[in-house]
Amino acid sequence: MKKIAVLGYGVVGTGLIELIEKNKSKDEEAEIHVETILVKHKEKHLKKKLSDKITDSFEEVFSKDWDILVEVIGGINPAYQYVKKALSLGKHVVTANKDLIAEYGDELFQLAKDNRVSLKFEASVAGGIPIIKPLTESLSGNEIRSVKGIINGTTNFILSKMYEEGVEYEEALREAQVLGFAEANPDSDVLGYDAARKLAILSTLAFKKRVFWKDIDVEGITSIDSKDFAYAKRANCKIKLLSYSKKEENKVFASVKPVLIDSESDFYRVNNEVNSVIVSGDAVGELVFKGSGAGMLPTASAVYGDIIDLALNKNSIVINSFSEDKFNIESNLKEKVQSLIRIHTDNKENLIKELNGRFLTAEFIDIFDNEIGLLVDGYTEGEIEEGLILLKELSYVNNVKRILKVS
Amino acid sequence: MKKIAVLGYGVVGTGLIELIEKNKSKDEEAEIHVETILVKHKEKHLKKKLSDKITDSFEEVFSKDWDILVEVIGGINPAYQYVKKALSLGKHVVTANKDLIAEYGDELFQLAKDNRVSLKFEASVAGGIPIIKPLTESLSGNEIRSVKGIINGTTNFILSKMYEEGVEYEEALREAQVLGFAEANPDSDVLGYDAARKLAILSTLAFKKRVFWKDIDVEGITSIDSKDFAYAKRANCKIKLLSYSKKEENKVFASVKPVLIDSESDFYRVNNEVNSVIVSGDAVGELVFKGSGAGMLPTASAVYGDIIDLALNKNSIVINSFSEDKFNIESNLKEKVQSLIRIHTDNKENLIKELNGRFLTAEFIDIFDNEIGLLVDGYTEGEIEEGLILLKELSYVNNVKRILKVS
């Protein structure tokens, strides 16, 4: 039997208490006893389960006797201080907090190591999908070559709506906000920072040296419009916010950006709030994981799994990768890629002639006035960018937009 | 540092030694030292790595000092005796052997428990895909509702060839044999027994009481022909050998059989030797896993992960489910399903009239002489079987074949 202190009684906390109550008496050895629950405003939670365990005093939490701190407040402060204190006191910590791990992973895992306790964080990336454990345990014989994922539910919901309903970004965002899939201030999601933090965590574990989230090239979805989707559909594609990192020798490429996803890709059918991660290892090859990336019970399921591991004394392996040197991150793929290019022009005829000379593999999509879409294949991102700089200098070219295509 | 004894130096054993050599000095704490390797014919392995560790004497293996027995011989005998002996001596065991776990899981896990050691078996189902660990550890807060999978690479390879190349079963089987995807005697794979053993293992872990493989209703792929594929293509489907189990209250349904898989299904793009498992839990919802189901390095990757767990003292949780009472297994789904029915007849006109009266939702596919295909929806398997019995009594009906459709 393990005693836990829970910090936060919001969506994930509520799901966790539900799972703990449901699983009571299933396995005596793995029984979890909730000793105390920290909340900000006690009066908000009086009708919930275990309301007698609720306190709004941080000191009271730390005055009680428990084995594991479960942090489901989210955000950096005050979660950071509480987690640090618990680890310093030699207590195990389970957290669902990607901000915390991405920002302070180096310090926190070192603290856990120094105090010989575990800091577990399965729920911090891709919600209910088991991905941290496979990456750190099951695949230990592999050199991981790449990690790619659809790991932000908010943007995937918005992009799915735009694809299905043909609406513009603003309308899809409002719908997501009404349904609770986007926050009132959606910046962290729609600008790609949330995905970058999660990609940083996965990449750090995969490549065994720190990939810092602020070093990742990030492009959000706010400039994706219905015309992009019109081109995408012509090319038999959807648009998804793809988080992608790749290691070659000692170099790491990492980026978060909206890309065209081909209908043959495993990501094509990852819609709405669903997440998916594809890990490529030198021994195992490509592994696909797909499931609920957020939500009360899926996230609680991951937190619960971490707690049970600790209850059964299956402590985490020591995570050293966050404390290692940082990788220098490259933001452009060196390999040949496919891209969709949209060029706004008042002279289509001249432009097409010019483009035919410039890109050998151009496939034109001519569906809108005053612009030309083209799919190019067989150039590196750098080569395409160079070409576009020259194009922009032409008098009849007004505007250029490029989206990578991933098959 | 842990010392291991490896039993078997075939495909998986060779991959394992390669991974151990490759990962040497990566992590001192998790270093694996190969103490001895048991083979049948020493002379066959003299040019391999670590040939100085090879012995053909079982007694010699057990006279040495090691911590973990790694069994990659396959088959029941002599693996069963060796594993039992190791567990009785208080040694951990890692095995890739689905036959052994499916057949003797009850006895072996009890023996492991009695001797306070771990019996690990990640590689026994779906090769390199981490599925045993997610099911037994990550999802511990969930009641698992169903498990479905494409978990036999041989049949999936054969069915993929039949779909892509329009060839008959015998030709696709020969191709699989030439390429090493099918054995000289392919019965265990093509008749569905291999998949049934794996489904039994997954279902036992998922539902926490034993599902015995011999109780599972099994139908192989040997009677699938090119006409079935012609109908499938018309219905926008492929044909796959689906292993499916489902728990409702205290009843378990389980079957292995070829089914039509709709193009919207996650299984539609699981081709050739690739495996995929979809687990549905009450908290987490549906989780999809996909990857290499067999092969030297993918399987070795799973075995290696198990060894490292033990090397880092992350022992398995005690697996009790195999020792519990057996479930009574039902073989027909009680829910309404879709089916493809092929009826051989010398009077199409009368038959269509008869069918229109019998199935309200029939959609006819008329592409061959002397037979009619129809897709029916909204009937249970039992209802359809009853209908087919009556149909068979009609003078102009010669033969009837039914394939379930899964969307």
Q: What CATH number did the domain enclosing B379 receive?
A: 3.30.70.260
pLDDT at A213: 96
Read off the pLDDT of each residue in B206-223 and give the average, rounded to a whole number: 96
Q: Tell me the average pLDDT of chain B.
A: 94
Q: Is B251 found in the same domain as B143?
A: yes
Domain containing residue A214: CATH number: 3.30.360.10
Residue B29 has pLDDT above 80, yes or no: no
**Cα dihedral B42, B45, B46, B49 sign:** negative
Local confidence band at B206 (pLDDT 50, 70, 90 cut-offs): very high
Q: Is A282 found in the same domain as A143?
A: yes
Q: Is A286 found in the same domain as A139?
A: yes
pLDDT at A30: 81
pLDDT at B147: 98
Domain containing residue A77: CATH number: 3.40.50.720
Q: Is B227 found in the same domain as B196?
A: yes
As for how many domains chain B has, the answer is 3
Nearest C-alpha in A relative to B276: A288
CA angle A194, A195, A196 (to 5 degrees): 90
pLDDT digits (tens, 9 = 90+) for B90-100: 999 999 999 99
Q: Is B283 found in the same domain as B140?
A: yes
Give the phi and the psi of residue B36 in degrees, each rounded to 5: -160, 150
Read off the pLDDT of each residue in A298-327 and give the average, rounded to a whole number: 89
What distance in Å separates the CA atoms of residue B163 and residue B168, rounded to the nearest whole number? 9
pLDDT at B326: 87
Residue B313 lies in a domain: no
| Neighbouring residues of A224: CB distance < 8 A, sequence distance ≥ 6 | A159, A162, A169, A239, A258
Q: How far is A285 from chain B (nearest CA, A)?
A: 7
Read off the pLDDT of each residue in B187-201 and give the average, rounded to a whole number: 98
B10 marked ligand binding residue:
yes
Residue B308 lies in a domain: no
Local confidence band at A75 (pLDDT 50, 70, 90 cut-offs): very high
**What is the span of the domain harbouring residue B354?**
336-406
What distance in Å separates the CA atoms of residue B34 and residue B6, rounded to the nearest whole number? 7
pLDDT at A278: 98
pLDDT at A269: 96
Residue A187 has pLDDT above 90, yes or no: yes
Residue A291 has pLDDT above 80, yes or no: yes
Residue A358 lies in a domain: yes
Helix H segments across A74-225? 79-88, 98-114, 132-133, 153-165, 169-178, 187-190, 193-207
Q: Is B146 found in the same domain as B94?
A: no
Q: Is B162 found in the same domain as B279?
A: yes
B14 marked ligand binding residue:
yes
Q: Is the preceding peptide bond at B78 cis, omega within 30 degrees of 0?
A: yes
* Nearest Cα residue to A127 out of A152, A100, A155: A152
Residue A43 lies in a domain: yes
- Do the Cβ atoms of B158 and B170 come closer than 8 Å? no
Name the domain boundary from A71, A105, A124. A124
Name the domain boundary from A275, A304, A330. A330
pLDDT at B25: 74
Q: Which of B137, B271, B308 to mutate to test the interface with A (most CBs of A within 10 A)?
A: B137
B285, B290, B301: residue with CB nearest A142: B301
What distance in Å separates the CA atoms of residue B237 and residue B267, rounded to the nearest whole number? 10
- Do the Cβ atoms of B377 and B260 come closer than 8 Å? no
pLDDT digits (tens, 9 = 90+) for B265-292: 999 999 999 999 999 999 999 999 999 9
Q: Is A155 found in the same domain as A109?
A: no
pLDDT at A249: 85
Q: Is A277 found in the same domain as A197?
A: yes
The structure tokens listed for A48 are: 């919930």
Residue A398 has pLDDT above 80, yes or no: yes
Active-site residue, selected from the candidate residues A198, A257, A401, A405: A198
Could you tell me what percent of chain A has a pLDDT over 70?
100
Read off the pLDDT of each residue in B138-166 and give the average, rounded to a whole number: 97
What distance in Å separates the CA atoms of residue A177 and residue B254, rounded to the nearest whole number? 42
- DSSP codes joined into one string, A76-109: STTHHHHHHHHHHTT-EEEE--HHHHHHHHHHHH
Give the phi and the psi of residue B330 in degrees, each rounded to 5: -100, 145
Residue A397 has pLDDT above 80, yes or no: yes
Residue B26 has pLDDT above 80, yes or no: no
- DSSP codes joined into one string, B345-383: ES-HHHHHHHHHHH-TT-EEE--STTEEEEEEEEEEHHH
Tell me the C-alpha to C-alpha distance, in Å, between residue B216 and each of B2, B36, B196, B359: 39, 38, 7, 29
C-alpha B231, offset from chain centre? 26
**Per mean pLDDT, which range of A140-154, A292-306, A350-364, B11-25 is the poorest?**
A350-364
Residue A154 has pLDDT above 80, yes or no: yes
Local confidence band at B318 (pLDDT 50, 70, 90 cut-offs): confident
Q: Is A157 found in the same domain as A243?
A: yes
What distance in Å separates the CA atoms of residue B319 and residue B202, rounded to the nearest whole number? 12
* Nearest Cα residue to B241 out of B225, B258, B261, B216: B258
Contact yes or no for B317 and A312 at CB 8 A: yes
Q: Please indicate whether residue B361 or residue A74 has the higher confidence score (pLDDT).
A: A74
- Do the Cβ atoms of A5 and A69 come closer than 8 Å? yes
Nearest C-alpha in B relative to A128: B284
Which chain B residues touch A282 with a CB distance below 8 Å? 297
Which chain B residues touch A272 with a CB distance below 8 Å? none
Contact yes or no for A284 and B298 at CB 8 A: yes
Name the domain boundary from A77, A105, A124. A124
Buried b (16+ CB within 10 A) or exposed e, B349-373: eebbebbeeebeebeebeeeeebbb
Interface size A-B, in CB pairs within 8 Å, comes to 150
A133, A141, A281: residue with CB nearest B137: A133
Q: Which of A142, A286, A299, A307 to mutate to test the interface with B (most CBs of B within 10 A)?
A: A142
Residue A4 has pLDDT above 80, yes or no: yes
C-alpha B301, offset from chain centre? 18
Which chain A residues touch B134 with a CB distance below 8 Å? 130, 133-134
Q: Is A139 found in the same domain as A201?
A: yes
Residue A181 has pLDDT above 80, yes or no: yes
DSSP B142: S
DSSP B264: T
A318 marked ligand binding residue:
no
Residue A308 lies in a domain: no
- 3-class SS letters over A5-69: EEECCCHHHHHHHHHHHHHCCCCHHHCEEEEEEECCCHHHHCCCCCHHHEECCHHHHHHCCCCEE
Residue A113 has pLDDT above 80, yes or no: yes
B171 marked ligand binding residue:
no
Q: How many beta carbons lie within 10 A of that of residue B15, not counting itself?
A: 22
Read off the pLDDT of each residue in B150-159 and give the average, rounded to a whole number: 98
Active-site residue list of B = 198
A222 marked ligand binding residue:
no
Residue B310 lies in a domain: no
B281, B301, B317: residue with CB nearest A283: B301
Local confidence band at A1 (pLDDT 50, 70, 90 cut-offs): confident
The structure tokens listed for B81 are: 């005796």
Local confidence band at A128 (pLDDT 50, 70, 90 cut-offs): very high
pLDDT at B360: 81
Contact yes or no for A139 and B15 at CB 8 A: no
Residue A235 has pLDDT above 80, yes or no: yes
pLDDT digits (tens, 9 = 90+) for A321-376: 998 788 889 887 788 999 999 999 999 999 999 998 888 878 999 999 999 999 99
Amino acid identity for residue A363 in this structure: E
H or E segment and range at residue B16: helix B11-22
Residue B299 lies in a domain: no
Residue A303 lies in a domain: no
Residue A26 has pLDDT above 80, yes or no: no
Q: Is A393 found in the same domain as A370?
A: yes
DSSP A393: T
- Do the Cβ atoms of B307 and B30 come closer than 8 Å? no
pLDDT at A314: 76
